[in-house]
Structure 1
């Protein structure tokens, strides 16, 4: 270098390092050689480096827009829930005849860490927990395959089913139906037979779990004394009710070159009168009907609890369960749009009342972290400018901040990590680390350049 010659460098490679090779290990020497080659290549191909940086920035901005947003990270286990219902049985019977056979047969699945079982009155829950690296839908397929065999070990009529493909944090929205003056049974019927089916069609929704109210059913209260008087057994009554609540198939026949289809109509029970008039037996040409030995009424299914809203009384509604790996913010938005459409078909005076909405928490959390990121970027940029007091060096360091943050979202999307409080806070904390190395390297470069200038001046004086 000749005296008076200017030294210039540009982002991102402007560092000149000095190492003592004698003190380095072989691996350290290899790393030093690779770094020197990378710096040399970057200095000779500045345009290419700038294009790569611009490409990373553009890709990162696209990743920011497509990143899945949630308030909290999903730390739940990779599990499949097997639910079995056998109403009327005690927890001990459920444990011995349902839970135990299922647990012992599901333990041999590949990739299973452990299997947990829980028994309660009329219900059994089996939790099959897989390794974290197993795909959830692959795990569900393995469980279904095993249930095909395990079902043969259960009592007749008991069918295990797997739960929805959601997670422990999948409850993203709760709602109730505001229906002043409407019976709780009618509200539950609207929820189960209209609202639930409509909202389940929303993309990203795994299940709509209904709660509250009464599930309508016909209740037949049999008088044992009358059964004894008419000589009728309880199984006879059950069989008569089942056989008279069914459609019977017909056939097709041709007559005069015309085909006729025979079918039955009105085989299902329509009201209480149909159930009361079912014949159980005939004595002296006189039928003995259900109403002669029992009382029939419309009631609600037995409940183990109620849903009370703000101490104002019982309510009927549903829980929106998000499917595994979906974008919580988008799913909530789509569900609300669907609610607007469904609301047009509700009876007059009935409307939705959202009692829990995670989108508020999501928006507040993301907005808070976003403001923090912007504030940190501004403060760090000012500190870098004041500390270095050289605009070219400051710009070359500051420009790394948005590129690095944008590139972080590329990795978040690649590993399926949502943009939540934890991940965004980690990015915010890393801003200081991003600029630290740049400041140190810039100062180190200035030091070596000043020493080189001093040597050149000394050589010039001596010459």
Structure 2
């Protein structure tokens, strides 16, 4: 423009994008309504947007299991694993292949590059195996393809179940505890968006046969002979597997064919001089838990004397479906647990929640909101002393508007609220108010020079004046984050929200500053 008088009396005929936005919104009847709409969308996005502790990472992989009864590991390697590896390497996106050759079985595991689409990777693996079924040797069984799902491998909550004690003795056995918790897991699995439930430290019921080596030698028997007779119990066929002392027939495959330890004790192992040698003659049979399972879950709790007390427990790990809200799921799980708490106590079962990702994610979001409010307050105080009270309030209103639009766009893009998302918003917080401060400071400066000037024209021209420079500065900051889109591997996936949310927030900050700051200045200054 030619002179300062024109700046306050005539609109610049060459408006840039900042000036055009100001001109479009400053007198529009829906501008005020759009402010409330933006804040409402932000609040809804904050409530509805799925919350989780960490961003979900795309990790794809799978295992191909091929059984070939009677084959040795060297045969398995030659006729199954080597040809299979060759075909699998033809699949694009596979990073590593690991193979294991065992007696009668081949296991080939594939790992894709991090970031490969899971569904597409699973389909490519399945198609490659099915397309090359003709290469399977005679005698090999149909391959089993098991895909990896990292989304369901990471639990969002864990609950430790343990027995009540009286005189330092458990009131319920570990096997009975497992039965009750196993039933409970099936009920919890019915809750919406619960993907998988695993139990750790469980003790499954079984009959344990404790052999006496001295008695085995006394009857001139070998461990192999005893083992073969005992293994015969496992055959699930209608054939007779052994006779008992009472000349009864044991037909396995029939439900509850073995009803007590005595049925096992009376299994005939051998004959010595025409006299039957029963299992009870050389071993002790007891109904207990699977003692071969060495895995155990231990819970440490403080007692009345503030000392740690060690308790065996069964830990239930619950994972969610991808994109589901861990806060909502955990609330439903814990509500259900509260509803059956009394029933569990009647069965002498207590529980402790040992992990709650929903609580962590919720606290992180609430902490962000608190920090944002504190930041807005600090910004307002600083601007009150430098620009004035009304100017400070206008800039303070811009911050929640910017964050509201940013969260809504993230929700539309399918993003979740997690610690990296929050970190991205906190990182960009200091930059979000830059554009609004620059706009209102320029309007404030021109208005101070010409207090009687037309505030509408002055606001548009002042916004237009700093538009290009502010755009370039903001674009330069955005460009520093864009290279993070090309970071590969685990780190690239984990830090993905940073190059998504920071550029969105900065672009939105420009739009809000250009469109709404002049409007608010006209209304309140």
Bin of the TM-score, shorter chain as denominator length: 0.5 to 0.7
Structure 1 partner of 2:190 = 201
Structure 2 partner of 1:115 = 96
Matched residues, number: 407
Q: Give the unaligned 5+ runs of structure 1.
A: 9-14, 20-31, 87-91, 248-263, 457-463
Structure 1 partner of 2:381 = 382
Which secondary structure does the structure 1 equivalent of 2:425 belong to? helix
Q: 1:16 to 1:403 in 2, by over 3 A?
A: farther
Q: Distance in 2 between matches of 1:227 and 1:244?
A: 30
Q: 1:52 to 1:202 in 2, by over 3 A?
A: same
Which secondary structure does the structure 1 equivalent of 2:352 belong to? strand
Does structure 1 residue 60 correspond to structure 2 residue 42? yes
Does structure 1 residue 326 correspond to structure 2 residue 324? yes
- Contact persistence 1:72–1:422 (CA under 8 A): yes
Where is the helix percentage greater, Structure 1 or Structure 2? 2
Q: Distance in 2 between matches of 1:364 and 1:100?
A: 51
Structure 2 partner of 1:418 = 416
**Alpha-carbon displacement from aligned partner over 1:117-174 (angstroms, at most 9, x marks no partner):** 487999979463355362x445445555566689968976995644556256434324
Q: Give the unaligned 5+ runs of structure 2.
A: 68-72, 241-252, 301-308, 455-525
Structure 2 partner of 1:79 = 60
User: How far apart are 1:372 and its partner, in Å?
Assistant: 0.8
- Contact persistence 2:160–2:299 (CA under 8 A): no
Q: 1:246 to 1:157 in 2, by over 3 A?
A: farther
Q: 1:175 to 1:155 in 2, by over 3 A?
A: farther
Superposed CA RMSD: 5.1
Which secondary structure does the structure 2 equivalent of 1:364 belong to? helix
Q: Distance in 2 between matches of 1:345 and 1:397?
A: 56
Q: Distance in 1 between matches of 2:372 and 2:432?
A: 13
Structure 2 partner of 1:401 = 399
- Contact persistence 1:381–1:398 (CA under 8 A): yes
Q: How does 1:127-166 map to 2 (within 5 A)?
A: 128-129=111-112, 132=115, 134=117, 136-143=118-125, 161-163=146-148, 166=151
User: How far apart are 1:220 and its partner, in Å?
Assistant: 5.7
Q: Distance in 2 between matches of 1:125 and 1:171?
A: 30
User: How far apart are 1:439 and its partner, in Å?
Assistant: 2.1
Structure 1 partner of 2:161 = 176
Structure 1 partner of 2:235 = 242
Q: 1:306 to 1:18 in 2, by over 3 A?
A: farther
Q: 1:84 to 1:272 in 2, by over 3 A?
A: farther
Q: 1:232 to 1:452 in 2, by over 3 A?
A: closer
User: How far apart are 1:213 and its partner, in Å?
Assistant: 4.2
2:23 corresponds to which of 40, 46, 57: 40
Q: Distance in 1 between matches of 2:424 and 2:291?
A: 50
Q: What's the TM-score, normalizing by structure 2?
A: 0.61
**Alpha-carbon displacement from aligned partner over 1:27-86 (angstroms, at most 9, x marks no partner):** xxxxx644444433334x521333333332222221111011223334x34224549799
